[in-house]
Every structure is written in C-alpha cells, then in structure tokens.
Amino acid sequence: MLRNLAQTAKHLGIKRKQLIFKMREAGLLNDQNLPAHPMRDKFYLQTKHGQWYHPELGMQYSESTRVTQYGINWLADKLGLERPKVPEERRRVA
C-alpha cells in the first residue's frame, strides 16, 4: 500500500508541511518534493507518475512522492519520530 505525504504525516502524528520540512532537512526529498535518492530508498519512497489530458493545453504530467508500508517506520526512525502502529502488509505472505 502506497501513501501520499499527507496520509503518511497523519500516521506519524505531524502535519504534511512539517513532514516535508523534516524530510528535506534529512536529505530524503529534493526541492520538488520527490525522493532525492530514488534507487537507494526505492523500498521506502517511490515516485508516482500521473498524466491527464487538458482540452486547451494538451497532455499534462505530474509526479509525486509515495511512502510504502515499510517506509513509515523507516521514516519515523530517520526523522527521530515515534514509530506509529502500522498494520502489516499481508500481500507478501505466502
């Protein structure tokens, strides 16, 4: 399950802007709020690519950061926050 930064901040008990500020300070996000090290952190932070058609401007593209299930506790540890209770991801259980 992937969560956007607002949902992740809610799990961590802070506001979205505070989360972004802390992640930038820790070097996890670049100035566009995308993962600064996408290959290193790929199991915790991912980039979602979106596109839509605008009748006057043509195709529009967007990117945003998503946090994986495992990334919530990892992020709490990296930012010095208390670990929240996160439900286990059951999709990888055999």
Residue-wise pLDDT for 23-42, tens only, equals: 999 999 999 999 999 999 99
d(CA 76, CA 73): 5
| Domain-embedded: residue 87 | no
Say how far residue 62 (Cα) sits from the centre of its chain: 15
For the cut 80, the answer to whether the pLDDT of residue 94 exceeds it is no
pLDDT of residue 84: 86
DSSP label of 35? B
**pLDDT-derived band of residue 90, with 50, 70 and 90 as boundaries?**
low
For the cut 70, the answer to whether the pLDDT of residue 91 exceeds it is no
What is the residue range of 69's domain? Answer: 3-79
Among candidates 57, 51, 65, which has minimal Cα distance to 16? 65
Among candidates 67, 68, 90, which has minimal Cα distance to 16? 67
pLDDT of residue 92: 63
Q: What is the pLDDT of residues 43-57, one digit of tens each?
A: 999 999 999 999 999
Q: Which residue type does 94 have? A: A
Q: When comparing pLDDT for 92 and 54, which is higher?
A: 54
| Domain-embedded: residue 22 | yes
| Domain-embedded: residue 9 | yes
| Domain-embedded: residue 66 | yes
Q: Please state, rounded to an integer, the average pLDDT across all residues of the chain.
A: 92
